[in-house]
Structure 1
Amino acid sequence: MSAVVIDEFGGQDKLKQREVPMPEMTADQVIVQEKAAGINPIDWKTREGFLQGMLNWQFPIILGWDVSGVITEVGANVTDWKIGDEVFARPATTRFGTYAEYTAVDANLLAPKPKNISFEEAAAVPLAGLTAWQALFDHGHLEKGEKVFIHAGSGGVGSFAIQLAKSVGAYVITTTSSKNIDFVKGLGADQVIDYHETDFAEILKDIDLVVDTIGGDAQEKSVNILKHGTGRLVAITGMDSEKTAGLAEARNVTFDSIWLDPNGEELTKLADMLEDGTIKVTLDSVHEFSAEGVAEAHDRSESHHALGKIIVRFK
């Protein structure tokens, strides 16, 4: 099969397309013929070598951890899925990712592709949607009537987080640039801050939950806007901050830096919400599967200006 791989860490020029062996399937997995794959910041951060300490893999590495497609083979222990099923998933984090024509996926991580969306839209959901779900509910314990502040609401995770927070009756505040204010309001944001014009830390207070998608100074400043004693800060940047943890302890608020846990049951809940229209997908751009197409997609992601999700599709 054809795949886009890296043989060493570095820039977009390290992405190479070539023939590789078909994935080997265990008894608890299925083989998915890919129709589309999502692009996420973890992809190019891994390519650059930023995550070497967390992901100690041998080369070659196939990047990509979002997929939608059709099942072509089923493992001996798999009973809930059959050949021909249309599915989507956030596969386990291994060096055999989804920048390939076929991929092996643990059966318990699959969800049925919603019938009312395309394969491209389905591939946009798993990693970003599950990250938003887990940040808000599994770790953030968001409840109806609470105030949640979501950094970067027009991005992949942020755009899902706004919609999910509104679905449980929260008051949603987010940041974006002026050109995307109408977009995030359309997703359900109650209050929008143009981060070019206003420092959120100067106008927000008594926030119940902050979902930090950007890290750095914004993460540390987020501690001070939380409700004393009960406020929660959940960071998804994958980089824990000792300073933030210390600030949170001093203010008597909770700080949690999380790493996505692939989860087929939660993804199925997202599939149901997509089918009934509770949430929707926004595609920033769709690129053709090739080394050049993947490089273009990485370039778009690295720009930090994507509106929604970036996708690679297979012919």
Structure 2
Amino acid sequence: MTTSRAIGYRHNHPVTVSDALVTEDVDLPVIGPHDLLVQVQAVSVNPVDVKLRVSAPTDGLRILGFDAAGTVVATGEEVELFSVGDEVYYAGALDRPGTNQTLHAVDERLVGHKPRTLTMAEAAALPLTVITAWEALFDHLRLDASSRGRLLIVGATGGVGLAMTQLAHTLLPDVEIIATASTTERAGLVRSLGASQVVDHHGELAQQITSVAPGGVDWLFTAYSQDQMDVYAQIVTPFGHIVAIDDGARDVTPLKSKAIAWHWEFMFARSLHQTADMAVQHDLLETVTELVDAGRLRPIIEHDLSPISAHTLRQAHKLVESGHLAGKVVLHDW
């Protein structure tokens, strides 16, 4: 076999346009010394896929997709962590062709063994969001099992928020989780995953937090930080920490009088800059696999589509663009 079937875009069309995503045969990926060649069996769609399709330029066909689950069919000469036949899952890299293709090359240091208790589709729902949540909690906020205090998760029913709620509940026993949600049903979901308090995502945040946490919160994760600095300055304690994942410049001056630290989380930083500790993401996913197989963490899936095609991927992009999901959109089988 010399080609792989791939789905991508050549023009920045709205998702309603029939050729917003197209299917083409492309050359089989060339694998480097640390690469795995994976037969992709399931993928999921994340907001980053939508952002790229709408605005990122392309020279020819740009193949989208980050989350994937599948089976290793070939390995590079220096691969040590995997063998042909292993079932794996991962979130890929920003600067390489995406996972929306039948055969995909990925650096083994970004890959984990798939949880044995999950289907391929279920496994594909996890990597990008759980890596982001993990890095936010443990790399940036530097929380551990001895941490005590209050964590506010703004946007708790997004993919990252759902993963973070579970990780914090499972691994941080003395951290109280306060979450924001937009409906009663979604509030029930995040409570079931470990949030002890839930406030209205569309309400006046400072007032609501004051009512449930009079002393404020020690740590704040946000997926929606635009124009929120004054509010965050009110509700975060002195010497507290905020970590954000959305885009755009921010004036953090209101945080200064309390010496509140601001962090950006970007899960592609390690692979994009080829950091010396890239294998941390492999180790992270291996730990996640253990948590999943022990019944302590689970994927939250709202839509499961099949087969993987340009048509179903356009459906998935449309669902993600709606901004109304409380869980992931996954696709499986070609």
Aligned residue in 2 for 1:209: 219
Q: Tell me which amino acid in the other structure corresponds to 2:292.
A: L
Question: Residues of 2 paired with 1:207 and 1:224: CA distance?
Answer: 10
Note if 1:38 corresponds to 2:39.
no
Cα-to-partner distance string for 1:220-239 (whole Å, 9 max, x where unaligned): 522321001x2101001143
Kept after mapping to 2: 8 A contact 1:219/1:235:
no
Note if 1:3 corresponds to 2:10.
no
Question: Residues of 2 paired with 1:219 and 1:29: CA distance?
Answer: 42
For residue 246 of structure 1, report the CA deviation from its aligned partner.
1.9
Runs of 4 or more consecutive aligned structure 1 residues displaced over 3 Å after TM superposition: 56-59
Q: Tell me which amino acid in the other structure corresponds to 1:208.
A: D
Question: Residues of 2 paired with 1:43 and 1:187: CA distance?
Answer: 26
Note if 1:253 corresponds to 2:260.
yes
Q: CA RMSD in A?
A: 1.6
Note if 1:160 corresponds to 2:179.
no
For residue 249 of structure 1, report the CA deviation from its aligned partner.
2.3
Worse-matched range after superposition: 117-126 or 9-18: 9-18
Note if 1:308 corresponds to 2:327.
yes
Aligned residue in 2 for 1:22: 28
Aligned residue in 2 for 1:172: 177
- 2:70 counterpart SS class: strand
Cα-to-partner distance string for 1:103-123 (whole Å, 9 max, x where unaligned): 101011111101011111111
Question: Residues of 2 paired with 1:240 and 1:66: CA distance?
Answer: 27
Question: Residues of 1 paired with 2:328 and 2:43: CA distance?
Answer: 11
User: Could you state the TM-score of these two structures normalised by the residue count of structure 2?
Assistant: 0.87
Cα-to-partner distance string for 1:228-285 (whole Å, 9 max, x where unaligned): 1x210100114341x1x22222331001122114611111111111111111111111
Aligned length: 306
Paired residue for 2:195, among 189, 196, 220?
189
Aligned residue in 1 for 2:68: 67
Aligned residue in 2 for 1:227: 237
State the percentage of identical aligned residues.
28
- 2:82 counterpart SS class: coil
Question: Residues of 1 paired with 2:132 and 2:60: CA distance?
Answer: 27
Aligned residue in 1 for 2:143: 142
Cα-to-partner distance string for 1:46-72 (whole Å, 9 max, x where unaligned): 1111xx4xxx76332111111100000
For residue 80 of structure 1, report the CA deviation from its aligned partner.
2.2
Kept after mapping to 2: 8 A contact 1:15/1:295:
yes
Q: Tell me which amino acid in the other structure corresponds to 2:115.
A: P
Q: Tell me which amino acid in the other structure corresponds to 2:151.
A: V
Question: Residues of 1 paired with 2:82 and 2:24: CA distance?
Answer: 30
Aligned residue in 1 for 2:273: none
Q: Tell me which amino acid in the other structure corresponds to 1:200.
A: L
Question: Residues of 1 paired with 2:120 and 2:332: CA distance?
Answer: 8
Kept after mapping to 1: 8 A contact 2:113/2:289:
yes
Question: Residues of 2 paired with 1:97 and 1:7: CA distance?
Answer: 14
CA gap of 1:220–1:32, structure 2 versus 1, over 3 A, is: farther
Q: Tell me which amino acid in the other structure corresponds to 2:180.
A: T
Question: Residues of 2 paired with 1:264 and 1:185: CA distance?
Answer: 30
Unpaired runs of 5+ in structure 2? 210-214, 271-280
The aligned runs of 1:99-138 (5 Å cut-off) are 99-138=100-139
Unpaired runs of 5+ in structure 1? none
User: Could you state the TM-score of these two structures normalised by the residue count of structure 1?
Assistant: 0.92
CA gap of 1:219–1:156, structure 2 versus 1, over 3 A, is: farther
Paired residue for 2:296, among 265, 278, 282?
278
Worse-matched range after superposition: 138-147 or 102-111: 138-147
Cα-to-partner distance string for 1:88-117 (whole Å, 9 max, x where unaligned): 011121240011111101011111101011
